[in-house]
């Protein structure tokens, strides 16, 4: 019998325990163990029913994704489920924690499902570029109907136990001990099988099916896995189950080795590893419950909301009553809107607001465990704030700056305790965006950094540790990307063409649309801050500066690269911008040429890759995969492309080197070429 699966007895009921920590992933060892135990269950006359249960914190949180990039090992999951269905004794799945992917498919193969309160179930495979491959698309429609099955499968939704019970995904929610409840349920089924496969798919209105498919395609950007999942789910109502299972498995096998699935698995593992720092193992973080946020603007209030949602006590500090009142009202409006939309209980909102202490009294810093500065992005202003924090914060408090590109060491130098200073670079809106760059300064203590990571996790953020460098990882790479795009409009492309080409690649928004949304003055300030150290021989595009000088700062002024009409989220190209660009070209004696969409995409991506190589060489980014986590989660890089470094690996070393020669030639003076070995070696 496998060490990952063992059999215990509760009278005439076999209790099959799956023990593959930390999440009981459905590995080959687990599958072998299950088959062996099922043979015992089937052949032992003293066993009348069986219960499958997970050890630890969950049932099975999914298959072992490391296997998906290799030839699958026998036995495969469909064989295990077939053995459960072929067994003449009822088998009950006892679910707790999470039953996801292959774990939920295994549960669907059982005769009944009993879940502890708080369990989540679901089929997230489409989010990994594949479809359920062990009957999920065939059994799920038999429980919930085709339209709902399309929705659940294509979204990869995690369904909580209460909702799962209402939908019929589980048979009952255990009151009290899960194991005892599952054993009792199994005894109640003795002498009967209740296979999901034997149920008839509920009849569905054709229009409802079409609407569900259309909604799924739109939400899933019509990716191949979404198409395949819809087709597989619809087949459940059209063909015998054995035919449907065979078609599903064939589609799964084709998708799992696709480039898109490999890219999504890469991103999955990159995100899982982003907060793992070997040097912090055994380092105890400092306790944090009381958080002070300095600055009640958009960013400060977003950070405060994230902290309140995570259960922290939050002091929101401003310099005057009017600014504090505006920030406090913004927070209250947020919670009111969440309650009104049915996304939050009124009692929960009230509890969050009760933990908020709006104040202009800086003495609150004396009782704060973590102080987060979120004031104007100006080095002198931030140094003044930190000098004041230094006189008021208690010894041992962690002092964090939300700077997005300034020198953290210069900020920490305004205090007498640089060892307590870290960067916490939130992305806007701070209470929505998952990404959080945790910046380590030259003097940052290990336990202060560890505290930043623990706080990030409690905030439900995705933390990436970065060294202290201008723009850190994300903004530094994005600046190189945007700069290359500016080169291209100087050479002959128009902003709308560049945006369209990169949105066609998969970016959520093109760089010029993003600039208008965030405000052109933000990047303008960054360029001004770098002016003194910029190579005078380097190629520099004046177009964005001229837009700012003309008062065209983006959506907030109604015009930037585009014209933005009041009350509309749309954008329109502006002849005045074309005239400004043409004048800038003429000033440099440039003759415009036609750029293809392929050139636009390649140059933009290569610029990212080159800057990533430089950051890795400098030690600002610790791992190549961290770059991909930041760009996907903070800057709209398409997840199904894996990230710029994954994209670079897919091109191969020889083609990439030739591409970089080409990019360097087009970029002109000042282009600093990175050593691609730092990218390719770390991804090998």
Average pLDDT over the chain reads 95
> Which of 468, 496, 525 is the endpoint of a domain?
468
- Please give, one letter per residue, the 3-state secondary structure of 260-310: HHHHHHHHHHHHHHCCCCHHHCCCCCCCCCEEEEECCCHHHHHHHHHHHHC
Domain at 71, CATH number:
3.90.226.10
Residues 463 and 479 in one domain: no
| 683: pLDDT strictly greater than 50 | no
Contact predicate 288/367, CB 8 Å: no
Do 69 and 155 fall within a single domain?
yes
Residue 80 and residue 98: Cα distance in Å, rounded? 19
Residues 390 and 341 in one domain: yes
Q: What is the pLDDT of residue 566?
A: 74
- Please indicate, yes or no, whether residues 479 and 397 belong to a single structural domain of this protein: no
The catalytic site residues sit at: 105, 125
Closest CA to 541 of 473, 587, 595: 587
Structure confidence by residue, pLDDT tens digits, 606-654: 999 999 999 999 999 999 999 999 999 999 999 999 999 999 999 999 9
Report the C-alpha gap between 137 and 382 in whole angstroms: 54
Q: Would 115 be classed as within a structural domain?
A: yes
Domain extent at residue 442: 285-468
Higher-confidence residue of 522 and 194: namely 194
Q: What is the pLDDT of residue 682?
A: 52
Task: Out of 444, 468, 492, pick the residue that ends a domain.
Answer: 468
Domains identified in the chain, total number: 3
**Do the domain assignments include residue 266?**
no
pLDDT confidence bin for 2, thresholds 50/70/90:
low
Q: Are 146 and 210 in contact (CB under 8 A)?
A: no
554 and 593 assigned to the same domain: yes
One domain for residues 464 and 494:
no
Average pLDDT over residues 208-229: 96
pLDDT tens for residues 6-20? 999 999 999 999 999
pTM here is 0.91
Q: Is residue 461 scored above 80 in pLDDT? A: yes
Model confidence at 505: pLDDT above 60:
yes
At residue 554, φ and ψ (nearest 5 deg) are 110, -155
pLDDT for residue 658 is more than 50: yes
Same domain, yes or no: 633 and 536: yes
Clarify whether residues 252 and 303 are in a common domain.
no
What is the CATH number for 490?
1.10.1040.50
Q: How far is CA 360 from the centre of its chain?
A: 35
């Amino acid at each position: 019998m496998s060490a990952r699966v063992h059999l215990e007895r509760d009278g005439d009921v076999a209790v099959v325990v799956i023990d593959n920590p930390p999440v009981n992933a459905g590995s080959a060892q687990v599958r072998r163990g299950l088959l062996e135990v099922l043979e015992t269950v089937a052949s032992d006359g003293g066993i009348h029913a069986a219960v499958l249960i997970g050890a630890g914190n969950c049932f099975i949180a999914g298959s072992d994704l490391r296997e998906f990039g290799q030839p699958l090992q026998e036995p495969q999951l469909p064989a295990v489920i077939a053995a459960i269905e072929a067994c003449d004794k009822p088998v009950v799945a006892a679910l707790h924690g999470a039953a996801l992917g292959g774990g939920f498919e295994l549960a669907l193969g059982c005769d009944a499902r009993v879940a502890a309160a708080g369990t989540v179930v679901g089929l997230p495979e489409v989010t990994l570029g594949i479809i359920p491959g062990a009957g999920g698309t065939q059994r799920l429609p038999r429980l919930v109907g085709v339209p709902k099955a399309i929705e659940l499968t294509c979204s990869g939704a995690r369904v909580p136990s209460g909702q799962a019970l209402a939908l019929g995904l589980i048979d009952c929610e255990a009151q009290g001990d899960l194991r005892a409840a599952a054993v009792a349920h199994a005894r109640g089924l003795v002498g009967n099988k209740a296979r999901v496969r034997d149920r008839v798919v509920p009849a569905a209105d054709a229009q409802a099916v079409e609407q569900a498919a259309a909604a799924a395609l739109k939400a899933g950007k019509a990716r191949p896995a979404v198409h395949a999942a819809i087709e597989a789910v619809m087949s459940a109502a059209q063909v015998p189950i054995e035919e449907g299972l065979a078609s599903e498995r064939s589609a799964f096998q084709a998708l799992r080795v696709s480039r898109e699935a490999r890219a999504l698995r890469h991103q999955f593992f990159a995100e899982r590893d982003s907060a793992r720092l070997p040097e912090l193992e055994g380092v105890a973080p400092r306790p944090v419950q009381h958080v002070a946020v300095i600055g009640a603007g958009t960013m400060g209030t977003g950070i405060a909301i994230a902290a309140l949602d995570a259960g922290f006590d939050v002091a929101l500090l401003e310099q005057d009553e009017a600014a504090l009142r505006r920030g406090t009202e913004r927070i209250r409006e947020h919670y009111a809107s969440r309650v009104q939309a049915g996304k939050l209980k009124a009692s929960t909102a009230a509890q969050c607001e009760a933990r908020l202490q709006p104040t202009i009294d800086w003495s609150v810093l004396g009782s704060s465990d973590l102080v987060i500065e979120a004031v104007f992005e100006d080095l002198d202003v931030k140094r003044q704030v930190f000098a004041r924090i230094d006189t008021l914060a208690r010894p041992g408090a962690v002092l964090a700056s939300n700077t997005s590109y300034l020198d953290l060491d210069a900020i920490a130098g305004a205090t007498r305790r640089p060892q307590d200073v870290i960067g916490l670079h939130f992305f806007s809106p701070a209470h929505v965006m998952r990404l959080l760059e945790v910046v380590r300064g030259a003097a940052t203590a290990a336990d202060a950094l560890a505290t930043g990571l623990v706080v990030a996790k409690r905030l439900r953020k995705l933390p990436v540790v970065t060294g202290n460098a201008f723009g850190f990882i994300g903004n530094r790479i994005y600046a190189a990307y945007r700069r290359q795009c500016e080169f291209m409009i100087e050479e002959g492309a128009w902003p709308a063409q560049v945006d369209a080409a990169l949105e066609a690649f998969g970016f959520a928004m093109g760089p010029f649309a993003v600039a208008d949304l965030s405000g052109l003055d933000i990047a303008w300030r960054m360029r001004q801050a770098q002016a003194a150290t910029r190579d005078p021989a380097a190629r520099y595009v004046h177009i964005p500066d001229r837009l700012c000088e003309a008062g065209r700062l983006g959506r907030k002024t109604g015009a930037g690269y585009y014209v933005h009409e009041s009350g509309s989220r749309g954008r329109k190209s502006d002849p005045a911008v074309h005239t400004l660009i043409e004048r800038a070209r003429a000033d440099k004696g440039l003759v415009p040429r036609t750029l293809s969409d392929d050139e636009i995409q390649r140059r933009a991506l290569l610029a990212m890759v080159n800057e990533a190589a430089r950051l890795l060489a400098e030690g600002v980014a610790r791992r190549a995969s961290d770059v991909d986590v930041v760009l996907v989660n903070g800057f709209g890089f398409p997840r199904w492309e894996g990230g710029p470094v994954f994209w670079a690996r897919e091109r191969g070393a020889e083609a990439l080197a030739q591409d970089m020669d080409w990019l360097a030639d087009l970029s002109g003076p000042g282009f600093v070429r990175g050593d691609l070995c730092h990218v390719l070696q770390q991804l090998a």
